Amino acid sequence: MFKALGLSILISFSGAVFAGGIADSHAEMSGCESCHEDGAPSDDGAFENEACASCHGPLKEFDSDVHNKHEGALLCNDCHVVHEEALAKDSCDNCH
Ligand code: HEC
Ligand code: HEC
Ligand code: HEC
Ligand code: HEC
């Protein structure tokens, strides 16, 4: 089901910037287990955020200001809504 959804998103957005959910693109790469312990979501999201940082590095190691400025203040999924077609740059208004 997720696979079919990812495919239809790819087709409808081909030629444009890929705008499908992050979880879909990552699950295609390496499955639900790449972020979820044994494939199941945690209660607090802590395991998932550790997973992001273990592949991408912690906020302070990013080159971009938007990441560095939030070191110690935010978790990845405060801005990246991974299971929806959402852009992190649209999250700013939620807090600022
Ligand atoms: C890129 C990392 C990533 C991948 C891959 C991923 N998820 Fe998630 N998922 C998350 C994050 C982050 C949350 C929110 C965590 C929290 O607050 O508990 C979440 C939440 C969930 C939830 C809780 C309901 C919701 O939508 O908030 C379910 C169920 C879930 N994921 C299932 C899956 C399944 C099934 C797969 C594989 C098809 C998958 N996830 C792949 C990161 C991921
Ligand atoms: C198993 C390693 C791994 C994990 C875990 C992981 N990523 Fe990724 N991620 C990648 C790779 C590989 C790419 C594609 C190459 C790139 O852009 O760095 C990618 C791409 C991305 C992109 C840009 C492309 C897209 O799909 O939108 C974002 C944003 C992203 N990851 C955020 C996250 C977040 C947030 C989490 C945790 C919820 C996470 N990643 C967890 C490996 C991972
Ligand atoms: C303050 C909000 C915010 C937080 C917190 C955040 N990001 Fe981002 N991230 C963005 C924005 C904005 C972009 C630009 C693309 C977009 O709008 O989706 C981006 C882009 C990315 C990209 C693709 C481009 C690049 O710079 O490589 C990756 C990968 C990524 N983020 C990973 C992460 C990970 C991993 C975390 C947690 C350690 C994280 N982000 C936390 C806002 C955030
Ligand atoms: C979940 C809430 C949240 C989101 C979403 C969020 N921020 Fe922040 N932001 C914070 C917090 C908390 C701080 C640290 C406390 C402070 O300095 O205000 C901060 C700090 C900052 C700072 C540094 C402020 C300073 O005085 O140095 C900038 C710049 C910033 N955010 C821009 C953004 C942008 C751009 C986005 C969207 C891509 C974004 N933020 C998304 C909560 C958020």
The predicted structure's pLDDT at residue 20: 60
* 50 vs 4 pLDDT, higher one: 50
Which range is least confidently modeled, 4-8, 48-52, 66-70? 4-8
The reply to whether ligand 3 has any atom less than 6 angstroms from the CB of 53 is yes
- pLDDT tens column, 36-51: 999 999 999 999 999 9
Mean pLDDT for 13-34 is 71
φ and ψ at residue 73, rounded to 5 degrees: -105, -35
**22-94: CATH superfamily:** Flavocytochrome C3; Chain A (1.10.1130.10)
pTM, rounded to two decimals: 0.89
Atom in ligand 4 nearest the alpha carbon of residue 79: 5
Say whether pLDDT at 8 is over 80: no
